[in-house]
Amino acid sequence: MPVSGVAIRGQRSLLRQIREALAGGGPAQTRLDMVVRIIARSMVAEVCSLYMRRAGGEMELFATEGLELKAVHVTRMKPGEGLVGEIMKLGRPLNLADAPEHPAFSYRPETGEDPYHAFLGVPLLRGGRAIGVLVVQNRTERVYTEDEVEDLQIIAMVLAEMVAGGELITEDELKGVELAPHRPERLKGSKFADGLAYGVAVLHEPPVAPSQLLSEDVVAEEARLKAAISGLQAQIDQMLEGQHGLVEASYEVLDTYRMFAHDRGWNRSLEDAVRNGLTAEAAVERVRSEHRARLGQARDPYLRERLHDLEDLNDRLLRHLSGDGHVARELPNDAILIARNLGPADLLEYDRTKLRGLLLEEGSTASHAAIVARALDIPCVGRLHGLRDKVSEGDPVIVDAETGEAYLRPRPDVVTAIRARMDVRAQRRAEFAKLRDTPAFTRDGAKVTLLMNAGLDVDLDILEETGAEGIGLFRTEFQFMVAEEMPRFNAQAALYERVMDAAGDRPVTFRTLDLGGDKVLPYLEAEREDNPALGWRAIRMGLDRPALLRLQLRALIAAAKGRPLRIMFPLVANVDEFRAGRALVETEIAWAQRRGRPAPSRLDVGAMVEAPSMVWHLDALLPMTDFVSVGTNDLLQYMFAADRGNPRVADRYDPLSPPFLRAMEQIQRACAETGTPVSVCGEMAGRPLEAFALVALGFERLSMPPAGVGPVKQMVLSCDREAARRGVSALLRGSAGSVRNEIETLARKIYLAV
């Protein structure tokens, strides 16, 4: 029976033997045979075999010690076939006491593996993708120890880098082996931020380079690791300071996060990997792979959230090891960033002058990365299943965020087509730029005020170039989402003051924190909820945590410095919530005046109409408000009971349908009758065809993403509002599930530019 732990305790010796064997030169097969022989001897195994993935997906036996040599380069298994195929599919080890009893076992008589029962196989992972499988076997029925599994995984990790780096097999000898995907692929996902981009792939988590895998001094490397872990723990401990009295939930989640950082199991796994001969950086990647294998396929949202916590800890630790607190690195021109997902601040730390597009394996239209991508006008496609394993650093990539697709290693004709479409978009942008200073009047003389949605510092830079007449929705939660800790009073006030300064005489409407639901902060996490979109979020959270809301209101009042101030509360579901929110504003105004600080010269307090309940209670709400704004994104999902973050249902219901348009008409009419200013600030306002319907319904204030201002202004200038009103009014009496086609036909009839 093999002796447990032999490989590790001689891990560095084993790796040195492999390198010495390779340095001897000779034919590729001779070198491969020598490698599996060394591993078998070190692992005290009777069989060691190396399988490599062919371009067609088949697994081929490339070398063996213990099986029949005549099977080498003869035995091939189809994708997913046998135990080797199972390991490739799962991307993690398979440890069996009696391999022939496993349902996936595939018997190949030419290998002569009949006597062997104990089986341990691990994948050779390269950039998160399996390129081969390393197997050891023994006659005795037994389960290999955890140490032995760990040993073989580390060996496989090093072998994968040697293969990819040409140390094990030369490029010519590797012909036909699929080290990385090379064929053109088209992936269908979801559009997160509109646009087109063509460039080269940059992996958000680049694989560790071969030169960084093995350490020369275990003691020194262990000291580096311990110092980095201590620095990480100190950083998180510091984040907790001063949080006790501010927000209870904030302190609780930070404390949980700190527990992860201090977890002995996590620390011990890192230390063991370093003692086995890996560098600290390689140890972090090694432990990261374990976490992904264990939690990556979990369906439980809580477990997946924990995986993101652990991923973030690993990233932070790598930054401490490098001595750099930033994830950003030098980008090539025309970079397309590839990631499974991105944290709140990650995208902002890349050079936006070189970043052309973003592709995500996970995420949603309401995710942090998608929100920031829209703010930066970076085309983004998400929910691209298997993306990270199908693309390599430097691959040419197309982001088609008009159709929600990604093209990996595209054919020349596809590149030509996308470039032509990009040229058309550039020409249209030039046309929109010419309209920047033109007032938005319809052909029959109706003025439509076009405003911009914002939420980040970077938005202020493009306010002038869009031609927007102000900021109709400033999402204050963005500052919280991109920060690593709760923004204090001074930080909040400074941002709000910069926004007002940038806007000058143009109006700015600040929406108070719209957190909860799909906007979860790393340091402010509510209890798990079955239906978070219907749960503890927005004004509900603010009223239950008045210290948080009052601090924000206080910062807004301070930032105004006696100038006009517009404050809006999100997701007001009944009039009592608005009344309570407005009372807090008045309390903070009085607090400032008692201390001799200036009150705003004019104060407007409004509510967002997003909950259907308010559509039928506007007679009570409107007299209390100075203005209202319709949040069409949430109103649509609540009206149709369709989670806008769920691709299975989000696209089934159209805002251009009679029920939704009737609700919008009812809101506009109620506001007109009471003289209450009303605007629309959802995604609907930034799309020319949908904006056409809104103008036809009588809405005269539209707030939209920056990229929407030009196209919507062009639509307004070509629109006859009275003709549009008559046509849309007739369509509202229809029974169709959507009247999009009819509205588009109507728009064409009156020569509308959409």
Last residue of a domain, which of 110, 132, 164? Answer: 164
Dist CA 91 CA 426 (whole Å): 43
Q: How would residue 156 be classed by pLDDT, with cut points 50, 70 and 90?
A: confident
Beta strands 565-569 and 603-609 are: parallel
Give yes or no: residues 506 and 648 share one domain: yes
Query: What's the rounded mean pLDDT across residues 244-260?
Result: 47
pLDDT above 50: residue 693:
yes
Query: What's the rounded mean pLDDT across residues 604-614?
Result: 96
Q: What is the separation of C-alpha 300 from the centre of its chain, rounded to a whole number of angstroms?
A: 18
Domain that holds residue 739: 435-749
Q: Which residue has the higher pLDDT, 418 or 290?
A: 418
Whether 172 maps to a domain, the answer reads no
Last residue of a domain, which of 293, 322, 351? Answer: 322
pLDDT above 80: residue 346:
no
Q: Which has the minimum average pLDDT: 133-147, 215-229, 580-594?
A: 215-229
Q: For residue 565, which phi and psi values (nearest 5 degrees)?
A: -135, 130
pLDDT above 60: residue 526:
no
Whether 696 maps to a domain, the answer reads yes
Specify the pLDDT at position 7. Answer: 38
Q: Which has the minimum average pLDDT: 167-181, 242-256, 634-648, 669-683?
A: 242-256
Dist CA 513 CA 222 (whole Å): 44
Specify the pLDDT at position 147. Answer: 81
Give yes or no: residues 573 and 701 share one domain: yes
Give yes or no: residues 383 and 289 share one domain: no
Helices (H), 601-687: 612-615, 618-621, 632-639, 647-650, 658-674
Query: What's the rounded mean pLDDT across residues 398-419?
Result: 93
Dist CA 647 CA 108 (whole Å): 44
Tokens of 265: 């199991």
Tokens of 321: 């090891």
Specify the pLDDT at position 493. Answer: 95
Query: What's the rounded mean pLDDT across residues 487-498?
Result: 92
Q: Which residue has the higher pLDDT, 360 or 297?
A: 360
Specify the pLDDT at position 184. Answer: 84
Whether 179 maps to a domain, the answer reads no
Give yes or no: residues 641 and 493 share one domain: yes
Dist CA 751 CA 181 (whole Å): 48
Task: Give the residue among 306, 312, 304 at the shortest CA–CA distance from 284.
Answer: 312
Give yes or no: residues 278 and 347 share one domain: no
Q: Which has the minimum average pLDDT: 9-13, 84-88, 747-751?
A: 9-13
CA dihedral over 642, 302, 292, 260, signed as positive or negative: positive
- pLDDT tens-digit readout, 106-140: 988 999 988 999 999 999 887 556 788 999 999 99
- pLDDT tens-digit readout, 26-53: 777 888 888 899 999 988 899 999 998 8
Q: Which has the minimum average pLDDT: 269-278, 290-299, 543-552, 707-716?
A: 290-299
Residue pair 487/241 in contact (Cβ under 8 Å)? The answer is: no
Residue pair 465/502 in contact (Cβ under 8 Å)? The answer is: no
Specify the pLDDT at position 461. Answer: 77
Question: Does 48 qualify as catalytic in the annotation?
Answer: no
pLDDT above 90: residue 357:
yes
Whether 173 maps to a domain, the answer reads no
Q: 335 pairs with which residues across the strands?
A: 200, 355
Q: How would residue 245 be classed by pLDDT, with cut points 50, 70 and 90?
A: very low
Specify the pLDDT at position 91. Answer: 80
Specify the pLDDT at position 122. Answer: 93
Q: What is the separation of C-alpha 445 from the centre of its chain, rounded to a whole number of angstroms?
A: 44
Give yes or no: residues 354 and 310 share one domain: no
CA dihedral over 730, 733, 735, 739, signed as positive or negative: positive
- pLDDT tens-digit readout, 561-592: 999 999 999 999 999 999 999 999 999 999 99
Q: How would residue 246 be classed by pLDDT, with cut points 50, 70 and 90?
A: very low
Specify the pLDDT at position 567. Answer: 97
For residue 382, give Cα distances in angstroms to 193, 274, 341, 596: 9, 35, 9, 50
Q: Which CATH number does the domain housing residue 740 bear?
A: 3.20.20.60
Query: What's the rounded mean pLDDT across residues 435-460?
Result: 90
Specify the pLDDT at position 61. Answer: 93
Whether 11 maps to a domain, the answer reads yes
Q: What is the DSSP letter of 27?
A: -
Q: 374 pairs with which residues across the strands?
A: none
Specify the pLDDT at position 345. Answer: 57
Specify the pLDDT at position 527. Answer: 61
Question: Does 380 qualify as catalytic in the annotation?
Answer: no
Give yes or no: residues 397 and 440 share one domain: no
pLDDT above 80: residue 651:
no
Q: Which has the minimum average pLDDT: 405-409, 647-651, 653-657, 658-662?
A: 647-651
Q: Which CATH number does the domain housing residue 288 bear?
A: 1.10.274.10
pLDDT above 60: residue 4:
no
Q: How would residue 707 be classed by pLDDT, with cut points 50, 70 and 90?
A: confident
Residue pair 376/458 in contact (Cβ under 8 Å)? The answer is: yes
Give yes or no: residues 347 and 447 share one domain: no
What would the DSSP string read from start to end of 102-126? Answer: STT----GGG--TT--EEEEEEEEE
Catalytically annotated residue among 368, 380, 671, 719: 368
- Residue 36 identity (one-letter amino acid): V
Q: Cβ atoms within 10 A of the Cβ of 352, count?
A: 14
Residue pair 356/199 in contact (Cβ under 8 Å)? The answer is: yes
Catalytically annotated residue among 48, 380, 681, 719: 681
The most confident of 158-162, 323-327, 520-524, 672-676, by mean pLDDT: 672-676
Give yes or no: residues 343 and 314 share one domain: no
Specify the pLDDT at position 2. Answer: 37
Query: What's the rounded mean pLDDT across residues 457-464?
Result: 79
pLDDT above 50: residue 326:
no
Q: Which has the minimum average pLDDT: 163-177, 292-306, 704-718?
A: 292-306
Query: What's the rounded mean pLDDT across residues 76-101?
Result: 90
pLDDT above 50: residue 242:
no
Query: What's the rounded mean pLDDT across residues 346-360?
Result: 85
Q: 674 pairs with which residues across the strands?
A: none
Give burial (CB, 10 Å; 0-12/13-18/19+) of 434: exposed
Give yes or no: residues 38 and 158 share one domain: yes
Percent of the residues in the chain that have a pLDDT greater than 90, as a whole number: 45
User: What is the crossing angle of helices 632-639 and 658-674, to 10°?
Assistant: 130
Q: Which has the minimum average pLDDT: 288-302, 379-393, 422-436, 725-739?
A: 288-302
Q: Which residue has the tokens 């050079």?
A: 351
Whether 1 maps to a domain, the answer reads no
Specify the pLDDT at position 577. Answer: 96
Give yes or no: residues 372 and 520 share one domain: no
Three-state DSSP class for residue 53: strand
Residue pair 193/401 in contact (Cβ under 8 Å)? The answer is: yes
Residue pair 169/328 in contact (Cβ under 8 Å)? The answer is: no
- pLDDT tens-digit readout, 268-282: 888 888 887 788 888
Whether 581 maps to a domain, the answer reads yes
Query: What's the rounded mean pLDDT across residues 221-246?
Result: 71
pLDDT above 80: residue 6:
no
Give yes or no: residues 593 and 729 share one domain: yes
Specify the pLDDT at position 240. Answer: 57
